[in-house]
Chains A and B, each alone.
Chain A
Amino acid sequence: EPEVTQTPSHQVTQMGQEVILRCVPISNHLYFYWYRQILGQKVEFLVSFYNNEISEKSEIFDDQFSVERPDGSNFTLKIRSTKLEDSAMYFCASSEWNEQFFGPGTRLTVL
């Protein structure tokens, strides 16, 4: 069964450093998303992406964040200068239509 994959599974970084989280969506999906989940809290929407551009973004997705689909298979989330409060699980999701399929997540720890 096709699935969304994410790398790395765990990323540790120093405050102020740039990180890139990678996702490989399901191959025939056209819509892509990033969500985050701070430990013990609910999943929060960050951004949606379709046709090589951002469809919608939340207040969390400020100028420090960017997304890119550099090739036909990868979808990346970049945080330019990480802050302590960026520590969270980051989930990538993709959909062909209604059902969004989530990846296993990347745990980002900012020290």
Chain B
Amino acid sequence: GESVGLHLPTLSVQEGDNSIINCAYSNSASDYFIWYKQESGKGPQFIIDIRSNMDKRQGQRVTVLLNKTVKHLSLQIAATQPGDSAVYFCAESGNAGGTSYGKLTFGQGTILTVHP
């Protein structure tokens, strides 16, 4: 069946370093991918998304890369700050065109810890 999974469950970095969080997906029909940040006791917070017709998208301090050939997604955080410490989930939607009523399938999550 379809699944979205993460390579690394935990990542520790020093403040100011760049962080890279990886995600693999198995559903080749997936056409919309999202990264969420979840802080303790809170709901997932949208970070950045990308459609399957793109291979890179940049936001403020964050970049998402999509490699459809190997079904791999990554989130790069530049100049990581202590406030970036959280669990990061990748998610995919398999609906054609990334329509909003599509369910999101979440990965297992990576715990990012940023040391001052």
Could you tell me which A residues sit within 8 Å of B by CB distance? 4, 30-31, 33, 35, 41-45, 48, 50, 55-56, 58, 91, 93, 95-105
Contacts and interface: CB of A to CB of B under 8 A. Distances in A.
Given A42-B106, A45-B105, A50-B101, A100 B42 contact: no
Contacts, number: 62
A98 B43 contact: no
B46 A42 contact: no
Interface of B: 32, 34, 36, 41-46, 49, 89, 91, 98-109
Given A31-B100, A48-B101, A56-B101, A100 B106 contact: no
B101 A55 contact: yes
A99 B48 CA distance: 9
B104 A91 contact: no
A43 B89 contact: yes
Contacts of B100: 30-31, 95-98, 100
Secondary structure at the B interface, as helix, strand, loop or mixed, is: loop
B106 A43 contact: yes
A103 B107 contact: no
Nearest to A57: B103
A104 B98 CA distance: 24
A91 B44 contact: yes
A100 to B, nearest CB: 6
A98 B98 contact: yes
A103 B41 CA distance: 11
Contacts of B34: 99-100
B32 A98 contact: yes
A99 to B, nearest CB: 5
A105 B42 contact: yes
A11 to B, nearest CB: 15
Nearest to A41: B108
